[in-house]
Chains A and B, each alone.
Chain A
Amino acid sequence: MSQVGFEKFIVPDEDEYKKIETIEELTEEDKESLAKAGIVPEDKDKAGNFVQMDQSVVYNKSFIDGVEILGIREALKKYDWLWDYYWKILEKDKDEYTQLSDQLPTDGYFIRVRKGVRPPFPIQSCLYLKKDNAIQSVHSIVIVEEGAHVMINSGCTLSNLVKEGVHIGISEFYVGKNAYLEFTMVHSWADEFITRPRTAIRVEEGGRFVSNYISLGPVKSIESYPTAYLVGKEASAYFNSILYAPPGSLLDVGGRIVFKAEKTKGEIISRTVSGGGKVIARGHLVGDAPKIKAHLECDGLIIKEGGIIHAVPELEGRNPDVEMSHEAAVGKIAEEEIEYLMARGISREEAISLIIRGFLDTSSMNLPPRTQLEVNMALKQLEEKGF
């Protein structure tokens, strides 16, 4: 069926797990797994929570009027119009994963934030794979209506049992006029795990989309290349990612922004560290309208022999009146920085560790406190292992 050999993976049943009434009903073990991806297993101070376990949506609840959270299968039954958003900005036939996703039993989240609604708390969505050797197929849609503002913390994670498996995640996000969507995604996978997110975002006039993507743990292969289409005047999109590639991993990651309307703005910033794995850091900016502003920054540190970072920054101007720039730097840690820290009495090893830790710093991402805590713990673990 494909190069990856999907045949060997089981496709879990839909509705295998029973729905729960509050997120606290999850087992302690499940809660721990969720926490690794920055998901707080609490309903307190949340606009809503969503949990998909393998192929079953076990929990979907909103705590704020004007915020709707459903499983996508249920939502498609409930709303006929939703089909107009399903496979709309992503193509079914794009590649073997999108095709497979279309053929497999699929669930996912449907999140709709009504016009002008601005929940003071984030929505959490967790895609959780419990079974070893399984495929999780997810198709999600987020609609943020005119003037609405929302933060979604998405965590993709595994139970401790899972060593091998595949996650295919189709995501279509619609950011309305003057709406704001901040989407923070933390990945926590395993050594032999393959993950294939396929994401597209459509941003209307004055709308703003911010993506924070963090993957610091083990993984076999990630291939992620979200595309934001800025279709309305003064729309904007920002992609920030912090990635660590352990030995044996392949991270083919990046983003694309298509500037379709005038005065749109966008930035792709990635910082990747190869601890022996291979990273392909992509970024593609397509300036197809006047007075757009686009910037791309990819910085890579190779800290172990055998590590590869291949930065592929692309600027594509299709209008004379565009302002597009990129910076890319790949290499080892600057000796100058190490010596500077050593001159303050810090040992070489400690200096190197501080610099790597600083390079992967996420403080500019403004992460929710709990997510920041989990990220810090993941970084600390890496640090203790000597990266």
Chain B
Amino acid sequence: MLEIKHLEVEVNNRKILKDINLTIKKGEVHALFGPNGIGKTSLLNTIMGLSGYKITKGEIIFKGKKINDLSIDERARLGIGMLFQRPPVVRGVKMRQMVALASGKTLKDEHIEALAKELQMDEFLSRDVNLGFSGGEVKRAEVLQLLAQSPDLALLDEPESGVDIENISILGYALNRLLQKDLPIMERKRSALIITHTGHILKYVVADVGHIMLNGRIICTGHPEEILQDIKKFGYKECELCHR
């Protein structure tokens, strides 16, 4: 589904991602751990094609196609979707409209309403996108849009950040819905890359593969639960000393 080879990225002439290699297969959910400010979000933004991230080396291949030079919307239409960590408010644009647009105008109103209801977002459909939403509501609004968009690869940037305890289980439900966890393994087609600083979200969402990023490099790959246990036990400091 996604293959990243020897990727190097600069922001404002500063190298922030170094020799990134990552392969995500169809239906796989990967978790990317790492301390704040280490380049995790930069990696997602680069895959999505957001401005400011200059690829100086390497390639991003999605569904067998090199996408380095594609625009954001071309990548989205090719099947990449992103849950933004702190999405902007889009004033005057209603959630209902946004969800319809994300679906490529294919979703009918009653489907949008049913979907929103499932995520407890039905009352938000007539509101401006993200305006006055709480942390949890923002994230659910993002998942709602992604469900409508139905990407083959979902990039989830800190889905649990800013979400309070009461809202985390409904978000977990929403994410599992997005990741097709309700389907038998064989039928799950959607892949995902989840960034998590704390790892909390993994209590609610099962990942297949885990990675640790430090200083712009992926330094460790393994079983997500085991990696998380080690991080909890030893902190990221220990990872710096690891030369696996």
Contact sample, A vs B, 19 pairs, CB 8 Å cutoff: A337-B90, A340-B84, A340-B90, A342-B73, A343-B48, A343-B82, A343-B84, A344-B101, A344-B145, A345-B73, A345-B101, A345-B104, A347-B73, A354-B101, A355-B90, A358-B90, A358-B93, A360-B92, A361-B92
Q: In residues 78-100 of chain B, which contact A (Cβ within 8 Å)?
A: 81-82, 84, 87-88, 90-93, 97-98
Number of interface residues of A (CB under 8 A): 23
Which chain A residues lie closer than 8 Å to B71 at the CB level?
Answer: 342, 348
- Across the interface, B72 reaches (CB within 8 A) one of A334, A343, A358, A359, namely A343
A346 within 8 A of B: yes
B13 within 8 A of A: no
CB <8 Å contact, A358 and B128: yes
CB <8 Å contact, B90 and A341: yes
B188 within 8 A of A: no
Which chain B residues lie closer than 8 Å to A291 at the CB level?
Answer: none
B66 within 8 A of A: no
- Across the interface, B73 reaches (CB within 8 A) one of A346, A354, A359, A360, namely A346
CB <8 Å contact, A342 and B72: yes
What would 19 more interface pairs be, CB under 8 Å, given A344-B98, A344-B102? A334-B88, A336-B88, A337-B90, A340-B84, A340-B87, A340-B88, A341-B90, A343-B84, A345-B77, A345-B102, A345-B149, A346-B101, A354-B90, A354-B97, A358-B91, A358-B93, A359-B91, A361-B91, A363-B92
Which chain B residues lie closer than 8 Å to A339 at the CB level?
Answer: 50-51, 72
Interface residue SS majority, chain A: helix
Which positions in B face A, CB cutoff 8 Å? 48, 50-51, 71-73, 76-77, 81-82, 84, 87-88, 90-93, 97-98, 101-102, 104, 128, 145, 149
Min distance, Cβ B149 to any Cβ of chain A, angstroms: 6
10 pairs of A and B residues whose beta carbons are closest in the complex: A358-B92, A361-B92, A345-B76, A342-B72, A358-B93, A344-B102, A342-B73, A345-B77, A336-B88, A337-B88
Q: In residues 333-387 of chain A, which contact B (Cβ within 8 Å)?
A: 334-337, 339-348, 351, 354-355, 357-361, 363
Which chain B residues lie closer than 8 Å to A360 at the CB level?
Answer: 92
Find the residue from A339, A347, A354 having the highest chain B CB count within 10 A. Answer: A339
Min distance, Cβ B173 to any Cβ of chain A, angstroms: 22
Min distance, Cβ B117 to any Cβ of chain A, angstroms: 21
Min distance, Cβ A340 to any Cβ of chain B, angstroms: 6
In Å, the complex CA distance between A363 and B104 comes to 24
Question: Nearest chain-B residue to A334 (Cβ)?
Answer: B88
- Across the interface, A348 reaches (CB within 8 A) one of B73, B91, B102, B104, namely B73
- Across the interface, A343 reaches (CB within 8 A) one of B81, B93, B104, namely B81
Which chain B residues lie closer than 8 Å to A340 at the CB level?
Answer: 84, 87-88, 90
Which chain A residues lie closer than 8 Å to B104 at the CB level?
Answer: 345
